[in-house]
A and B are shown apart, each in its own frame.
Chain A
Amino acid sequence: MSAVIYDFKRSFFRLSTLLLLIIFILVGVASTYLIYSSMIQQGYSLDQKLSVIAAIDTEDNCLIIKGYVFDEKGDPVSFAQVELYINDKLIDKASSADGFFMLCTGTKISPTNINKFFENITKLAQDSKLVVTYRDVREEVRSSTIMFREVKEIPLTIGFPRIYYLKRTLYTYHSPTAFISTSSPILIPRIDKDDVAIVYFINPFFSLGNNSIEAEYCIGNYLSLYTEKNITKACEEIKDLGVLNKTIVSVKIPLDPKYNGLAILIKKDDLNTTYITGYSTSRGINTIYLSLLSTPLGTIVNFAPIIMLYLAYVLMAKPRSIGALEFILARPITRLDLYLTRYFAAVLTGLTLSIAVILGLGLSTTAILGITPDMTALLTIILGLFLALTAIYSVYYSLATSIRSGLYLAIGIILYLIFTIFWQTIVIIYAYITGQLFDFQKLTELISYSYYFNPVGAVNLLLTMLQKSYGLSSVEVNPYYVGLSVAIWIIVPFILGYLRFRRINLST
Chain B
Amino acid sequence: MIEISNVSKSFGRIKALENVSFKVNNGELVGYVGLNGAGKTTTIRIIVGVLLPDSGDVYIDGYSVLKEKRKASMRIGWVPEIPIFEPDVKALDYFVYLAGYYKISPSEARRLGKELFERVGLSGTENRKLKEYSQGMKKRFALAVSLINDPPNFVFDEVLNGLDPEGIKFFRELAKNFKKQGKAVLFSSHILSEVEALADRVVFIHKGRIINILTMQEIKSMAEKKLIVKLDKPLEKIPEEINSYGVPVVEDNTLVIRKFKGDQSTVVELLLRQGYKIMEVKLEEISLEEVFFKLIGEQK
Contact = CB atoms under 8 A, between A and B. Distances in A.
Interface string A298-340: 0000000000000000000011001110111111111001000
Interface in B191-242: none
Given A3-B97, A10-B89, A334 B48 contact: no
Contacts of B142: 327
B50 A329 contact: yes
B80 A327 contact: yes
B84 interface: yes
Contacts of A6: 96-97, 100
B51 to A, nearest CB: 7
B255 interface: no
Interface in B30-80: 45, 48-52, 69-71, 73-74, 78, 80
A505 interface: yes
A318 B85 CA distance: 11
A1 B106 contact: yes
A2 B86 contact: no
A503 interface: yes
Interface residues of B, number: 32
A503 B52 contact: yes
Question: Which of A7, A10, A503 gathers most chain B CB within 10 Å?
Answer: A10
A332 B84 contact: no
A61 interface: no
B123 interface: no
B271 to A, nearest CB: 59
Contact of A505 (B51, B74, B86, B100): B51
B109 interface: yes
A316 to B, nearest CB: 11
B102 interface: yes
B281 interface: no
A90 to B, nearest CB: 75
B83 interface: yes
B58 to A, nearest CB: 13
Contacts of A331: 73, 98, 101-102
Contacts of A323: 84
B86 A319 contact: yes
Contacts of B83: 327
B266 interface: no
Nearest to A506: B50
Contacts of A326: 45, 50, 80, 84
B182 to A, nearest CB: 21
Contacts of A3: 97, 100-101
B243 interface: no
A330 B52 contact: no
A507 B45 CA distance: 9
B253 interface: no
B183 to A, nearest CB: 17
8 nearest CB pairs, A to B: A331-B101, A332-B73, A332-B74, A323-B84, A1-B100, A1-B106, A326-B50, A332-B70
21 contacts: A7-B97, A322-B84, A322-B87, A327-B80, A327-B83, A327-B98, A329-B49, A329-B50, A330-B50, A332-B69, A332-B70, A332-B74, A332-B101, A333-B69, A333-B70, A334-B69, A334-B70, A337-B70, A506-B50, A506-B51, A507-B50
